[in-house]
């Protein structure tokens, strides 16, 4: 697809320079354009900042007819349209929160004999829920004025993805109604299973897939144990490594954002907070101050980030556990767009896992800004979505618990990419620290821990199980008479880290299930371990062994 002998090549080159002001194409841009202009359905996985917009805006400009772009977020659409109009490319958008008269005017233009628009942007519910748009598309199609469908942020189609939007599932109708119109699906985050899901839901046929490495060599990754002094640690980290530089601190709750910002201000940083319950004017104000470097540090929920194109973000800090590896990768991706070295630091504590899990089950986690049109937060999540979210979260936990494997490898494996950790060149904490590792058979320990959960009637937390296993005589252990259990102290010879890593592994691999309980009347959250008997069966019967890597300290 990289040929420069297509009938449109000359036109392509000329317009790329003249209209878009680019000297050349970036990786895969030419290939994607050639494939979609040849009439194929195309699926593109390109990291944020890779230049996805050009792959449909350039074809839209040189093909006859109109390109329909489905994009999840009005503010992003507006930003795109502004750029297109500046380049003299006629473009418009339709969304539910526009004045009716304004919508009418655009629809009228679509009906006119020679429709002037090259691109029409719509939000997904316009396709899923409105016959009006479909009727106009039919009319355009009949007049051979329908060039192409573009699905931006295509991973929103998939329930396995981290940004599922129900309205995106209705987009399959486009291929049903217009089977011969090429579809171009674009995303910056998709695992193999998400990709399959998207291709199927959209009804893409003989789809051509372009993907490029999601590795970001200039980002340095590390995971640091989160303690009570976390905020002091963050302050120190910034002062030592990124003083007066620009960064984002992702926090779990709105209150956390405010707390972290306040603390950093006290420590002399130019910090502010940003979250979903601030009014839009206030948010825009903060965002502007940040772009102008009047504020260095934004303490934000994941609502902050989409469409933010600041090239010199030097650090992204996660104050608590991200909800998925995909989300984490995307949030980190906002650092270092200029290619300069930048830090991604995650503060991890297992208790945050319990907290995030509880918030997910309550549906009270703030979503990334894609979801602004679709309100998760009023209803508790349920069923398959809850399961997927929990699974995504567990993967994130095992990422954090892993102190052996290259962070890049761990992330890229998740995107179905092969990666040789030597390529990391010690730019992540694990590669830096681990000189070698040993693989240990932990089957016996795993079996004992599962058995201990059964013996305590599946009513205790992981930290209690660990205490009993390592022979503690704490008050709670005595009160429950757990010192008399046969397995009390069975793991005495192990270090706490070792035993707890096996226990976490049992949870992340689904042998044990963590059930969240709202315990006392202060509403604090705790969780108890249960045995997933169907999964644990093979392990307990010796049909399955469990191997874990441990660093061998040199």
Q: What residues numbered 422-451 form the site for Zn ion, per CB under 5 A? A: 424, 428, 431
Alpha helices in 228-279 (DSSP H): 230-241, 254-266
Q: Of 122 and 406, which CB lies nearer to ligand ADP in the complex structure?
A: 122
Spatial neighbors of 496 by CB under 8 A, at least 6 apart, are 466, 470
β-pairing verdict for 183-187 and 146-151: parallel
CA nearest neighbour of 41 among 154, 142, 117:
154
Total Cβ atoms within 10 A of residue 214: 25
Distances 352 to 81, 154, 221, 294, 365 between C-alpha atoms, Å: 40, 30, 19, 32, 13
Which one of 21-29, 71-79, 105-113, 533-541 is the stretch in contact with ligand ADP (CB under 6 A)? 21-29
What is the closest distance, in whole angstroms, from the C-beta atom of residue 55 to ligand ADP in the complex? 8
Which whole-number Å values give the CA distances from 333 to 164, 250, 484, in the listed order?
20, 13, 51
Binding to Zn ion (CB under 5 A): which residues in 38-77? none
> Which of Zn ion, ligand ADP, none binds 406 (CB below 5-8 Å, type-dependent)?
Zn ion
- Residue 431 binds: one of ligand ADP, Zn ion, none (C-beta under 5 to 8 A by kind): Zn ion
48, interface contact from Zn ion, ligand ADP, none, CB < 5-8 Å by kind: ligand ADP
Tell me: does residue 22 bind ligand ADP (CB under 6 A): yes
Which residue, 26 or 544, is less far from ligand ADP as judged by CB? 26
Closest distance to ligand ADP from the beta carbon of 73 (Å): 12
* Sequence-ordered list of residues with C-beta below 8 angstroms from that of 374, at least 6 positions apart, any chain: 165, 166, 167
Which among Zn ion, ligand ADP, none contacts residue 428 (Cβ within 5 to 8 A by kind)? Zn ion
Which one, 21 or 64, has the nearer CB to ligand ADP?
Answer: 21
Q: Which range touches ligand ADP (CB under 6 A), out of 23-31, 204-212, 504-512, 526-534? A: 23-31
What Å distances lie between residue 252 and 99, 180, 321, 352, 461, CA to CA?
Answer: 35, 45, 8, 9, 23
Contact 429, 407 (CB under 8 A): yes
Residue from 28, 29, 36, 390 in contact with ligand ADP (CB under 6 A): 29
Least CB distance from residue 502 to ligand ADP, whole Å? 41
Taking the least distance from each CB to Zn ion, the nearer of 186 and 424 is 424
Q: Minimum distance from CB of 310 to ligand ADP (Å)?
A: 12
Query: Interface with Zn ion includes 406 (CB under 5 A)?
Result: yes
Scanning 317-325, 327-335, 418-426, 459-467 for contacts with Zn ion by CB under 5 A, the matching segment is: 418-426
Candidate residues 12, 15, 25, 487; the one interacting with ligand ADP per rule CB under 6 A: 25
Smallest gap from Cβ 234 to ligand ADP, in A, equals 28
DSSP 8-state class, residue 428: B
Q: Hey, is 158 helix, strand or coil?
A: coil
Question: Least distance to Zn ion from the beta carbon of 391, Å?
Answer: 24
**Residue 65's binding partner out of Zn ion, ligand ADP, none, with CB under 5 to 8 Å set by partner kind:** none
Question: Is 54 among the residues that bind ligand ADP (CB under 6 A)?
Answer: yes
Write down how long the chain is.
554
| Separation CA 258–CA 267 (nearest Å) | 14
Total of chain residues touching ligand ADP, rule CB under 6 A: 13
**Across the strands, what pairs with 221?**
344, 428
Q: Smallest gap, in angstroms, from Cβ of residue 217 to Zn ion?
A: 11
Q: Where are the beta strands (DSSP E) in 212-354?
A: 219-225, 246-250, 271-274, 297-300, 313-318, 342-348
The CA–CA distances, whole Å, from 72 to 76, 154, 482 equal: 8, 9, 54
Selected binder of ligand ADP within 30, 31, 45, 50 (CB under 6 A): 50
Q: Kindly give the residue spans of alpha helices, DSSP state H, lying in 471-528.
A: 475-479, 496-508
Identify which of residues 133 and 151 has a Cβ nearer to ligand ADP in the complex: 151
Closest to 258 (Cα-Cα) out of 231, 237, 240, 280? 231
Residues contributing to the site for ligand ADP (CB under 6 A): 22, 24-26, 29, 46, 48-54
Residues contributing to the site for Zn ion (CB under 5 A): 406, 424, 428, 431
């Amino acid at each position: 697809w990289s040929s420069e002998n297509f009938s449109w090549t000359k036109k392509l080159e000329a317009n790329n320079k003249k209209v878009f002001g680019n000297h050349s194409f970036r990786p895969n841009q030419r290939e994607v354009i050639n494939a979609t202009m040849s009439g194929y359905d195309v699926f593109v996985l390109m990291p944020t900042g890779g230049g996805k917009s050009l792959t449909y805006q350039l074809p839209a400009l040189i093909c006859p007819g109109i390109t329909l772009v489905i994009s999840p977020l009005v503010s992003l659409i507006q930003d795109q349209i502004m750029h297109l109009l500046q380049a003299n490319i006629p473009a418009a958008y339709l969304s539910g929160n526009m004045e009716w008269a304004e919508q009418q005017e655009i629809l009228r233009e679509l009906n006119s004999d020679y429709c002037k628009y090259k691109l029409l942007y719509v939000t997904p519910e316009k396709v899923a829920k409105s016959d009006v748009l479909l009727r106009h598309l039919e009319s355009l199609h009949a007049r051979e004025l329908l060039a192409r469908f573009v699905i931006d942020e295509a991973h929103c189609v998939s329930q396995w993805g981290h940004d599922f939007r129900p309205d995106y599932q209705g987009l399959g109708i486009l291929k049903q109604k217009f089977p011969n119109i090429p579809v171009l699906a674009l995303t910056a985050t998709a695992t193999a299973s998400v990709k399959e899901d998207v291709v199927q839901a959209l009804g893409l046929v003989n789809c051509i897939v372009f993907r490029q490495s999601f590795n970001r060599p200039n980002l340095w990754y590390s995971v640091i144990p989160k303690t009570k002094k976390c905020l002091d640690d963050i302050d120190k980290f910034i002062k030592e490594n990124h003083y007066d530089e620009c960064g984002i601190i992702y926090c779990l709750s709105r209150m956390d954002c405010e707390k972290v910002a306040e603390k950093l201000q006290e420590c002399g940083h130019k910090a502010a907070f940003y979250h979903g319950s601030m009014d839009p004017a206030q948010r825009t104000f903060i965002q502007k101050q940040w772009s102008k470097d009047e504020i260095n540090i934004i303490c934000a929920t994941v609502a902050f980030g989409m469409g933010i194109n600041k090239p010199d973000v030097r650090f992204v800090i996660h104050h608590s556990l991200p909800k998925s590896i995909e989300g984490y990768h995307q949030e980190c991706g906002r650092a270092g767009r200029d290619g300069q070295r930048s830090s991604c630091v995650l503060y991890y504590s297992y208790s945050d896992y319990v907290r995030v899990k509880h918030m997910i089950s309550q549906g009270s986690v703030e979503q990334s800004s894609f979801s602004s049109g679709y309100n998760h937060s009023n209803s508790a999540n349920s069923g398959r979505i809850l399961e997927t979210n929990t699974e995504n979260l567990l993967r994130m936990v095992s990422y954090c618990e892993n102190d052996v494997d290259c962070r890049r490898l761990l992330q890229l494996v998740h995107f179905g990419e092969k990666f040789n950790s030597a390529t990391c060149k010690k730019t992540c904490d694990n590669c830096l620290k681990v000189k070698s590792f040993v693989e240990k058979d932990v089957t016996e320990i795993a079996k004992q821990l599962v058995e201990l959960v059964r013996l305590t009637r599946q009513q205790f937390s992981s930290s209690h199980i660990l205490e009993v296993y390592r022979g503690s005589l704490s008050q709670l252990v005595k009160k429950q008479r757990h010192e008399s259990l046969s397995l009390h102290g069975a793991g005495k010879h192990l270090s706490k880290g070792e035993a707890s890593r096996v226990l976490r592994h049992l949870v992340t691999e689904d042998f044990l299930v963590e059930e969240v309980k709202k315990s006392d009347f202060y509403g604090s959250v705790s969780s108890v371990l249960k045995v997933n008997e169907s999964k644990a069966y093979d392990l307990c019967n010796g049909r399955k062994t469990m191997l874990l890597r441990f660093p061998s300290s040199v």
